[in-house]
Amino acid sequence: MRGPHNIWRLIRTGATFERTGALKIILDATDTPRPLQIALRTLVWPFKWLGIKGDESRPPITRAITALGPAYIKFGQILSTRPDVVGDELSQQLQILQDKLPPFPRDVAISVIETELGCKLDDVFSEFSEPVAAASIAQVHKAVKRETGEAVAVKVLRPNIGRAFRKDVDAFYFAAWFIQRFLPSSRRLRPQDVVAHFEGVVLGELDLRLESSSAAEFYANTQGDEGFYVPKVDWALSSRSVMTLEWLEGITASNIPAISAAGHDRAKLGRIVLQMFLSHALRDGFFHADMHQGNLKIMPNGDVAALDFGIMGVLDAYTRRVYAEIIFGFIRKDYQRIAEVHFEAGYVPADQDVDEFARALRAVGEPIFGMDATQISMGRVMAYLLEVTERFGMATRTELILLQRTMVVVEGVARSLDPKINIWEVSQPVVESYIKENIGPKALMRDLGRTAIVLSRFGPKLPQIAETILMAQTRSSEPQPSRISLRQSALLVIGGGLAAGLGAAVALILS
């Protein structure tokens, strides 16, 4: 598939980027040498007339991408979450990419629903609207369930979108190979790895059952979160190409005049948005990674509702603890501890100087803390932090990049609701609560208990393990450094037995 037949598709893509002025921006962002820039643009220029003109009111990058269609729009969206790949400037341009396309006909959506659900639309819904929103992969209709009269949002995949995406992804791979082969400066950006990442994300979004699963998990995690709401999935009316959620009335978070006119407390809303994001990231390790204004609604009762669960972030328990200690260290201006956390986590190579790293962190933090409290940005601190750690040899960590990018977006939403919000003051209770529960003696005992429970599962195998070790020692005619001594064997068995007993006791207590 990834062969010369993609050349025509790529020629038109290149022509569109040249015609819209986006090609020069991309070449500059990738630090392409000037002679090579001239050569590439000279090569593309004769085909410029083949490029799509696009909407001239948009910036060059978004103009080109939206003109090229759904796969390119989604690719741009995903790249906007990877400033480590495309750079901060290009990432910011991609963040404003409008994911709005002409909808496909209502009758086509009905056909998809009837095929997927195996029933007539009128048997399920008493009302089914024209599209209320259309994006690159799917569109949404408002419907009313015939049996209960409940209003629901029905998300339907675009027909043949999977086939169209596979064709474009095939061309992306070909382009990535070409760029990586003939543009050495691009190799640090790992073009083929970027396309593989894109392919994985899109394949997940092309199966709405996976998004439904994310929505259901997020719903379960947030049930006790005051002021925050996630719509419930209707699994009986969901499938690979159809996803049904409860319909939520409310004001889009970007409509500040309407929010004010409705009498909502904007300062409170700003706090909810920021604190909920931090709670989900730290407490659950599962957070909404696309929390821009278009995916948030202010409900009539003042709750903040989240929509669109196609991009979710995941953090393991250890990373959450590291992240919390870093934030808490900045809150307390404890730069030495922040440095030690980075070394303990293995983020910074051990051959670096921890004291020098702490001094570099102070150079990041102090100027920011010299600002007025309302101007301090946690997202900016994390961005500067990643910049410093890169200088000290820290490898790129995708999960932290996504977290940092989402933090910047969430801060933007919070400040749009309340320009005077003090980011650190609002964040501190959430971070302190997490640290109290997850770092210290109480957390250590809980971790040891869980470890003991895991070890106890090997209890029935301990006699067999002991016999195997002793038999191996008996067969050995000479002592060998590589073998385990009898003393070590005994300690292993006794230790395992104690762990099994402790695990059983802990399990009994916890039950």
Helix axis angle for 266-279 and 398-417, nearest 10°, is 170
Per the residue annotation, which of 84, 170, 290, 308 is the catalytic one? 290
The burial class, CB within 10 Å (0-12 / 13-18 / 19+), for 478 is: exposed
**For the packed helices 423-438 and 378-391, what is the interaxial angle rounded to 10 degrees?**
70
Tally of CB atoms within 10 A around 96: 12
Tokens encoding 39: 């050569």
Beta strands in 50-104 (DSSP E): none
Nearest CA to 85 out of 5, 195, 173 is that of 195
55 C-beta neighbours (distance < 10 Å), count: 11
Q: Six-digit token pair at 141?
A: 């209709």
What are the structure tokens assigned to 194, written together?
Answer: 């970027």
Q: Is 328 left (phi over 0), alpha (psi -120 to 50) or beta?
A: alpha
Closest CA to 117 of 234, 247, 248, 246: 234
Please give the radius of gyration of the chain, using alpha carbons only, rounded to the nearest integer: 27
- Dihedral angle of Cα 21, 27, 30, 36, to the nearest 10 degrees: 180
Contact criterion met (CB below 8 Å) for 304 and 274: no
Cα–Cα distance, 166 to 203 (Å, whole number): 9
Contacts of 34 (CB under 8 A, 6+ apart): none
Q: How many CB atoms lie within 10 A of CB 491?
A: 12
CA 385/CA 227 separation, integer angstroms: 31
| Cα(417)–Cα(255) distance, integer angstroms | 10
CB < 8 Å & 24+ apart, contacts of 465-472: 465/492, 465/493, 465/496, 466/492, 466/493, 469/493
Q: DSSP label at 233? A: B
DSSP conformational letter for 243: E
Burial category of 341 from C-beta neighbours within 10 Å (exposed 0-12, middle 13-18, buried 19 and up): buried
> Per this entry, what is the length of the chain?
511
99 is catalytic: no
Three-state SS at 191: helix
Q: Which residues are marked as active site?
A: 290
